[in-house]
Structure 1
Amino acid sequence: MNHRPKVLFFDVNETLLDLSSLKENVSELLNGRDDLLPLWFTTLLQYSLVTSAGGQYADFAKIGAATLQMVAANNDIELSKRKAESLVIDSLRDLKPHPEVKDALTRLKNDNYKLVAFTNGSNEGVNQQMKNSGLTDLFDELLSVESAGKFKPFKEAYDWAAQHMNVQPDECMMIAAHGWDVAGAQWAGWRAAFIARPGQQQYPLAPKAEIFATNLQEVADLIVTYSKN
């Protein structure tokens, strides 16, 4: 039987919170071009990595707005910085949880797991997201890579989070719906659970996650069976 991780870390966007409303709002700004949404998400991740690789840091939502302007410009869609930032920031902060999330987190909390939200979003952003989604009281801590100065999946972000929680890497489990987040965590020495939200896949060149599930309830149902010894 598997032993219990000391801390469960949860990615926020898409893992816990449903991105449907964000996608609808962004699509509207892009003149209904739903086909551009995957390109925007990919460009957002690309430039968050570019920012960290260059030794810089910027608010993730502002990178999202900047990359949205890039995608719009490349497709002859006029979009101002003010409008892009307002929509991305407001939409991210008003996301709703996936249907099973509250019950799954409650089950884990009642089983005495330490629960930590760990996001590429800002400190202010994650606090607003958890408050607006009604999840704040289910977490022991809300952590942002802003305090680490590096975005996930850079190893420094996971190292900082483990040190902040005063645990060793192999005592941490990352629960995420993004193959890159699961890969980054495992390469940093963490355990991982992958949630296969629609459109998400594990990275084939990374180790397979310890847990593969289609939603957070399935993850919780398995983790509560882990040995406490």
Structure 2
Amino acid sequence: MSRPALLLFDVNETLLDLTPLQASIRRVLPGADSPKLWFTTMLQYATAMSLAEQYATLPEIGTAVLRMLAEGRGVKLSEEQARIAIAPITRLPAYPDVAPALARLRAAGFKLAALSNSTTTGLRSQLDYAGLASCFDAQFSVQETGVYKPHASVYQGALRRMRVEPKEAMLVAAHGWDVAGARWAGLRNAFVRRNDQAPFPLAEPPELLVADIGELADRLGA
């Protein structure tokens, strides 16, 4: 396998463990499935806004979606209560495999960049809190483009900034829609199996399918 010049990493759930955020969501939204429902619905509405050429930040969408879902389950949440419930999104730990594997990849000469649906400030806070900021050559937020992944312009914008062609870049993510979106935009891709997730069957199979970032480093020869 040829070596990618650039590795673009999704952040939420790919590098960072959402458990503290899930516990906070579960405290205000009834149902064992409430954290997953909130996360997937937030992404659904972010994508819907992009299709409708509208934009709000991920915290704004997350707050609105949490209030909407709570109302549907008979719970009245104020905007402030919802904001407090999703606040742990900037204080998430990295999975244990992440920091050592990123260090190996950097030592092997790979360029590394983070590419997230989080805001610019939120992404910086997340990586600082998790101790990962120094692992990356660059950090990119969709706030810079005004549309959300998997819109092709998000991936393409990051590649322009890094001066890398799509075929020289690999998107690494734990979400089927993100890995598929990168491939449709011309990038290579690697799927990380986190939390029982699987690739999207209507897209081409990912180039790499790995259990964690450590296995990714192994497969890339780092």
TM-score (norm 2): 0.97
- Amino acid corresponding to residue 165 of structure 1 in structure 2: M
Show CA shifts across 1:104-155 (max 9, x none): 0000010011000100000000000011111111110111011111100011
2:195 to 190, 195, 198: 198
* Residue 156 of structure 1 pairs with residue 148 of structure 2: no
1:44 to 39, 42, 45: 42
Q: Structure 1 residue 39: deviation in Å?
A: 1.9
1 CA distance for matches of 2:157 and 2:108? 26
Residue range with higher mean Cα deviation, 77-86 or 14-23: 77-86
* CA-based RMSD: 1.0
Show CA shifts across 1:30-76 (max 9, x none): 14x22222221221111001111111221112211111111100000
1 CA distance for matches of 2:89 and 2:127? 11
Structure 1 stretches of at least 4 aligned residues deviating more than 4 Å after TM superposition? none
SS in 2 for 1:97: coil
1:68 to 55, 66, 69: 66
Q: Structure 1 residue 186: deviation in Å?
A: 0.2
1:87 alignment partner in structure 2: 85
1 CA distance for matches of 2:95 and 2:79? 30
* Residue 102 of structure 1 pairs with residue 99 of structure 2: yes
* Residue 10 of structure 1 pairs with residue 15 of structure 2: no
SS in 2 for 1:9: strand
SS in 2 for 1:17: coil
Residue range with higher mean Cα deviation, 8-17 or 140-149: 140-149
Q: Structure 1 residue 19: deviation in Å?
A: 0.4
SS in 2 for 1:13: coil
8 Å contact kept, 2:25–2:34: no
- Amino acid corresponding to residue 133 of structure 2 in structure 1: T
- Amino acid corresponding to residue 35 of structure 2 in structure 1: L
Structure 1, unpaired ranges of 5+: none
SS in 1 for 2:115: strand
% identical equivalent positions: 41
1:223 alignment partner in structure 2: 220
1:17-28 equivalences under 5 Å are 17-28=16-27
1:178 alignment partner in structure 2: 175
- Amino acid corresponding to residue 47 of structure 1 in structure 2: Y
2 CA distance for matches of 1:160 and 1:56? 18
- What is the number of residues matched between the two proteins? 222
SS in 2 for 1:61: helix
Residue range with higher mean Cα deviation, 51-60 or 67-76: 51-60
Q: Structure 1 residue 26: deviation in Å?
A: 0.4
2:139 to 135, 142, 147: 142
Structure 2, unpaired ranges of 5+: none
